[in-house]
Chains A and B, each alone.
Chain A
Amino acid sequence: MSTFWILAPIMVLAALGILFVRKAVHAALLLAVVMIGLALLYLSLDAPFLAAVQVAVYMGAILMLFLFVLMLVGVDASDSVVETIKGQRVMAIIGGLLLGVVLVVALAQISLGTVVGLDSANAIGNIPALADLLFSKYVFAFEVTSALLITAAMGAMVLAHREKLEPRTSQAELAALRMQEYAVSGKHPGPLPTPGVFARHNAVDTPALLPDGTASEASVSRVLAARGTVRSAPAMAGDVAGVERQLGPVAHAGRDSSAPATTEEEAPATTNRDEEAPA
């Protein structure tokens, strides 16, 4: 029972978190917490096989599916707070509280009697006992389940499949389209500028600098701009003293002393290459 009293508050808090977090990814991770808790509770309830299935099916399959779809749909697709039906949120919370209170009060008023326990039912082992039931009493439901799974797989494939209605545009057509756009609207036909200012800040979240010192908005991804995680490039560009301090006096000394040495080393190397070339 101590397992229960440790896990129950964690699970309830995680479940409440699903209601309040703004990002869907966080909700998925909190759901994972609840499901791990449930798997452990199944273990404490003499259902080891169900616990394993809970981890394999829910954590391994269903939550992964949720996360995949979240990645496809867009991680930052957060909830809107606009109420379509007036007062719906308050009504939903009141209704939910009522439901919870009714359920808990009803459960408090009944007594479930003594616990029989699964020791005799699990005498031949949990998995063989379950298999006995599944393939005798519930064999028809089991077969229907297989039909359901095949139908669901087919349905998902049909829904997720996209028919190609027009032929793929070739590279030449795309190039012609770009030039036409350039003629009409003046949109730059070439590739976008790459991000990055210094060697230490060539990350994708640092915009490139234009010749006049302003940041080029075209050089950072739109997604980063939407999330608001773009760094300020002009501020970094102004920090020349900081860069020199990072490089340190060693870099200065090394640059001065090694400059003639490298030319001397390179000279014989090039002559060697010239000798080898005809041979």
Chain B
Amino acid sequence: MTPYVVLSSILFTIGCVGVLTRRNAIVVFMCVELMLNASNLALVAFSKQHGDLDGQVMAFFVMVVAAAEVVVGLAIIMTIFRTRRSASVDDASLLKY
């Protein structure tokens, strides 16, 4: 099962770097999804490792939370875009001042 977990950690790292470097809010969201998916892969791999279905149930809950998060997050991006005409995470910086 180690290769699966290594793949999962590689995908998680790529998602992490994406969140930190990309500026388009939608792409940042996609990278968050990538991280969630990577954690799902680790959960399913460990589920097989231990012969226990708890990991798969956990992966379901992660999926549900991811769906809810995407729905609300994309609605927020839409609202910000409607008022500011920009989907860049750098432009929404008024709280700084």
A interface vs B, CB < 8 Å? 1, 4-5, 8, 11-12, 15-16, 18-19, 24, 27-28, 31, 34-35, 38, 41-42, 45-47, 49-50, 53-54, 57-58, 61-62, 65-66, 69-70, 72-74, 77-80, 82, 84, 88-89, 92-93, 95-97, 99-100, 103-104, 107-108, 112-113, 115-122, 129-130, 133-134, 137-138, 141, 145, 148-149, 151-153, 155-156, 159-160, 162
Contacts and interface: CB of A to CB of B under 8 A. Distances in A.
Contact of A12 (B4, B7, B17): B7
Interface residues of B, number: 70
B60 A112 contact: no
B78 A160 contact: yes
Please report whether the interface of chain B is mostly helix, strand, loop or mixed according to DSSP. helix
Contacts of A35: 37
A130 B51 contact: no
B94 interface: no
Contact of A8 (B7, B12, B27): B7
Contact of B22 (A11, A79, A138, A152): A79
A149 to B, nearest CB: 6
Q: Which 10 A-B pairs have the closest CB atoms?
A: A116-B51, A96-B17, A92-B20, A152-B68, A100-B13, A159-B75, A103-B9, A156-B75, A15-B14, A156-B71
Please report whether the interface of chain A is mostly helix, strand, loop or mixed according to DSSP. helix
23 contacts: A4-B7, A5-B3, A8-B3, A11-B7, A19-B17, A27-B30, A38-B37, A41-B4, A45-B4, A49-B56, A50-B44, A53-B60, A62-B33, A65-B74, A72-B81, A84-B93, A103-B6, A130-B60, A134-B57, A137-B54, A138-B57, A138-B61, A156-B72
B17 to A, nearest CB: 3
